Structure 1
Amino acid sequence: MYKKITSILIAIFTLVTFSGCGNKSVNSDKTISEQSSQSKIQVAVSFNAIREFVEAIGKDKVEIRTIIPNGTEPHDFEPTARDLEYLSKSKLFVYNGAGMESWADKSIQAVNSKQLVAVEASKGFDAIKSTDEGEIKEHGQYDPHVWISLKGAEFEAKNIKDALEKIDPSNRDYYEKNYKDFSTQLNNLYDDYKKRFDTVNNKNFVTGHAAFAYLCRDFGLKQNSVEDVFAEGEPTPKKMADLIDYCKKNKIKTIFVEDMVSPKVSETLAKEVGAKVEKIYTVESKEDNKNYIESMKDNLDLIYNSLK
């Protein structure tokens, strides 16, 4: 890992050095649209959900680049030299934290930018601790999926708002209004589904990987999953047998799967217990052209209907 980081650093310094040559000619040839783009706050974000939160608060005051491409599993990602180059030129870097982006701290240190404000969006949130010793050793002690929770999204959005106000205090009222609007949408959705989930007796559902603990905490639900919090490894025969028993005992009618987790085991499980397979969103990538609110509403609809 040390050699890899070192090679990335050498590459980034080379890129920065070369990009520094001929700056005058580059600037003098900028179009009006490029100059307008430069007047916006340059923001780097780790993955899609964080991008959506920054976009909701910053709107036309920010220009955002997402480091982890859509369709890439965030748990396994390593940034490229080009990613670090962009990070070095950004004013704000927003990442989820809680162990989600293992590369974030090293990348911040690598670029060593005095202008960069780094925001761990989940910092200060009441995080759920892992009980798996292997996961704790490899990924840290917390479940990182804070954003898959309406309350978690509101918390992360506030941290983002505070950072934008610090960087751009002249537009404080603008960011405050956008945050309140986004917060209202989140709370309206929460209130609606809290009432619905309170009416069902069955609180159990099954997912492809254990990404929904915070959503469960929001609504008093319980998830059981084919794969662990970090979507690693297939279940052992004993785990599979336990899942089959669990599904039968709790009358599970739906097995939920996510885009970036292999559906094969979930499909096998569904066949064993006579359940159907439905897609659910983790919002790590942009899926089906839906925004965060739309994706979470779909998730809550699907889960609620599976429990009735």
Structure 2
Amino acid sequence: MFRKRLILIIAFIVLIMLSACSKKENREGFDKNKIKVVVSFNAMKEFAYAVGKDKISVVTLIPNGTEPHDFEPKIGDMKSVSQADIFIYNGLGMENWVKQTLESAANSKRTVVEASKGIEPIKNSDADEIEEHGQYDPHAWLSLKNAEAAAKNIKDALVKVDSSNKGYYEKNYAKFSRELEKLFNEYRAKFEGASNKNFVTGHAAFAYLCRDFGLKQNSVEDVFAEGDPSAKKLKQLIDYCKENKIKTIFAEDMASPKVSQTLAKQVGAKVKKIYTLESKEDGKDYIESMKDNLKEIYESLK
């Protein structure tokens, strides 16, 4: 009897210790035996893991379902940034808090990666957006070509920080690059053969994808998904959809689905989901999400 009680007591103590360790690991966020990487939001995490895989431990600052433009780092976030070997952000005005955060969470050994560095940015045309968010459309990661450039920037940083595993990172980057190119070539041929090039989204996040494939988006909300459209704007969208025989209105996680649903009802269209990858959705990685996006857009053009 005593022996059984002793075993139960020991088991209970071990459970408490494991729980404490788990809480400590969750709070700190990093596996200390791996390269510590902090990313701003989900798309950057997708690129980091595509190249770094099991050699890296990643903390994502912006929680799923939170708009990156509105995010403000907390004390725990600052601690993660200060501990990071590599910090990855998109740039192009997407994360306006980065400069101050890096200065406050100082770490002279940390490598900083602006994932969009080297791409050709698309300029905003709306004066109010330029004044509030900057001159560029930040949604560069929704282009397969830009994704390849971002992954290369991340690969170069990993090689710099962990040169002993250069071959590993180069191999992973090459594989990811081939997957991107295969998907790009498949849909370039399909979109070139499409007579209709127009589609409608919840917010204007797909300009870089459109540039890749010669498409044209119209949207319910602006580039930064702020506010519902005016009655005048909604009327213009209804006329646009009818004129261009739009049969699908795409809705994203970060944009209000109600307006997309209202628009679809007005023009006799259906509402379909599209991924912006700002959050992790449906357990899909970057390639899977973009494959779904391209398939649905292509089907909507028929």
3-state SS, counterpart of residue 155 of structure 1: helix
4+ residue runs of structure 1 moved beyond 6 angstroms?
A: none
3-state SS, counterpart of residue 93 of structure 1: strand
Aligned to 1:227: 221
Superposed displacement of residue 151, structure 1: 0.6
Superposed displacement of residue 39, structure 1: 2.3
1:243 matches 2:243? no
How many Å separate the matches in 1 of 2:252 and 2:212? 20
Superposed displacement of residue 30, structure 1: 8.3
What letter corresponds to residue 224 of structure 2 in structure 1? F
Aligned to 2:259: 265
Aligned to 1:26: none
How many Å separate the matches in 1 of 2:116 and 2:242? 36
- Once the two structures are superposed, the pairs formed by residues 113-128 of structure 1 within 5 Å of their partners are 113-128=107-122
How many Å separate the matches in 1 of 2:92 and 2:206? 15
Aligned to 1:140: 134
How many Å separate the matches in 2 of 1:77 and 1:106? 13
Could you tell me which runs of 5 or more consecutive residues in structure 1 were left unpaired when the two chains were aligned.
1-28
What letter corresponds to residue 234 of structure 2 in structure 1? M
What letter corresponds to residue 214 of structure 1 in structure 2? Y
Could you tell me which runs of 5 or more consecutive residues in structure 2 were left unpaired when the two chains were aligned.
1-19
Aligned to 2:11: none
What letter corresponds to residue 54 of structure 1 in structure 2? A
Aligned to 2:39: 45
Deviations 1:85-142, CA, capped at 9 Å, x for gaps: 1110111000001000111111001111112111110012100000111101110100
How many Å separate the matches in 1 of 2:40 and 2:250? 25
Which structure has the greater CA radius of gyration?
Answer: 2
What letter corresponds to residue 133 of structure 2 in structure 1? H
Aligned to 2:15: none
Alignment match of 1:300 (pick from 275, 282, 294): 294
3-state SS, counterpart of residue 91 of structure 2: coil
Aligned to 1:76: 70
How many Å separate the matches in 2 of 1:225 and 1:261? 10
Superposed displacement of residue 37, structure 1: 3.0
Deviations 1:2-58, CA, capped at 9 Å, x for gaps: xxxxxxxxxxxxxxxxxxxxxxxxxxx989xx8x93121100000111001000101
Aligned to 1:94: 88
What letter corresponds to residue 194 of structure 1 in structure 2? R
CA RMSD of aligned residues (A): 1.5
Superposed displacement of residue 152, structure 1: 1.0
1:193 matches 2:190? no
Aligned to 2:7: none
Q: Normalized against structure 2, the TM-score is what? A: 0.89
Superposed displacement of residue 61, structure 1: 1.0
What letter corresponds to residue 53 of structure 1 in structure 2? F
Alignment match of 1:64 (pick from 27, 34, 58): 58
3-state SS, counterpart of residue 272 of structure 2: strand
Aligned residues: percent identity?
Answer: 64
Deviations 1:206-241, CA, capped at 9 Å, x for gaps: 000000000001100000000000001111111111
User: Across the two proteins, how many residue pairs are aligned to each other?
Assistant: 277
3-state SS, counterpart of residue 249 of structure 2: strand
Aligned to 1:287: 281
Q: Normalized against structure 1, the TM-score is what? A: 0.88
